[in-house]
Structure 1
Amino acid sequence: MIPKYKKILYATDLSANAAHAFSHVIGLARSYRAEVYILHVLPEVEPAMLNYISTVMGEDRLADLELEHKEEIKDKIRQRIHAFAKEQLSDHPEDVERISEIEIHHGSPVGRILEAADRIDADLIVIGSHGKGRLKYAFLGSVAEKLLRKSYRAVMVVPLK
C-alpha cells in the first residue's frame, strides 16, 4: 500500500540550516495536501548547572524565575518559528495555512518528538541532521539516529548543509 501523508511532524532545532529541511516538509505537504505540525524542544538544563545556579540564587528564587519566564520564552520561540515560516513561504503565502500548530516543549528531544507524533497521530516525522562525521556519532549519537531507532512511524532525515 502506498503511504498517504496527511499529518507531518517537523521537528526543528532552529539552526541556520533548518530552512533546508522545512522546504522538504512543505514540498511533501503540497504534494499530499497534508497538515504540518512544527515542534521545537528546549533541552533541559544539566542537573549540575541547575544545582550551581540554585546555590548561587537560592532555590526559591530560581523556581520563581523559571515559572515567570517559561511561557514567555515559549511564546517568543513560537513567534520566531511563525515568522520563519512566513518568510520561507513568502512566494507561496497560501502554504502558511498548511501549518496546523507550532508546539514548544521542554525535555528530551527524542522523547518529546515521539510523544507529539503519537498525540497528533503523525504519518511522517521530518527532522534535519547535521553532518558531523561518523566518529562523533559513534560516541555521542544524535537526535536523528535515536529517533530512527525508536520510532515505529516513518521518519525522513534531511541532511543539512
Structure 2
Amino acid sequence: MSWRARIEPAVRPILQSWWRLSRGTTLGVRAIVTDRDGRVALVRHTYVHGWYLPGGGVERGEPVREALRRELAEEAGVEVTGPADLLGIYSNHASFRGDHVVLFAVRDWRVCPTDHAGEIEAVDWFHPDDLPHGTSPATLRRLREYAGTANPSDEW
C-alpha cells in the first residue's frame, strides 16, 4: 500500500475542514452515471461510510464540467464521451453552510484508467431498484427524483 493510500484517509477530513473555513462557499459535482443495462455507478469512500454518487470538489478556477470529468475519471474510472446533462444545483447546508452540489446525468462514457488509491474503497454498478445497504440518503433522493418517483428538492 502506497504512503498516499495510508495517509490520505486521515488527512482528508482535516483538509476538508480547512477548505470550508477558508472559503465562504464550496462547490461540488456529482453524477448519475448509467450503463446500457440501466445500472448506476456508486462509490464507497475510505473516509466516510456508505455508497455515493461519484463526484467531488470543484477546484478554484476550474470549470464545473471539467471538475465533473476529472472526478469521474479519478473516482469511478469513467471517461465522459458525450454530453453531461445538468440535472440540478442543490444546497448542501446540512453538511456545511455555503456548500452546493451540481448534479449531472452521464450516459455516454467509457472505462478509463483511474488512480483513486486511498480515497475510493469500491466502485460498483447497481440497478436502481436494488441499491446496496448503506446508500446515502442524498443519493437515494437524487435517484428517486431522476426516476420520477419523488418530487425535486433544492436541498441535497
Q: Which bin holds the TM-score, normalised by the shorter protein?
A: under 0.3
TM (norm. structure 2) is 0.26
TM (norm. structure 1) is 0.26
Decide which structure has the larger Cα Rg and report it: 1
Flag the structure with more relative contact order, 1 or 2, with Cα contacts below 8 A and sequence separation at least 6.
Answer: 1
Between Structure 1 and Structure 2, the one with more strand by share is 2
Between Structure 1 and Structure 2, the one with more helix by share is 1
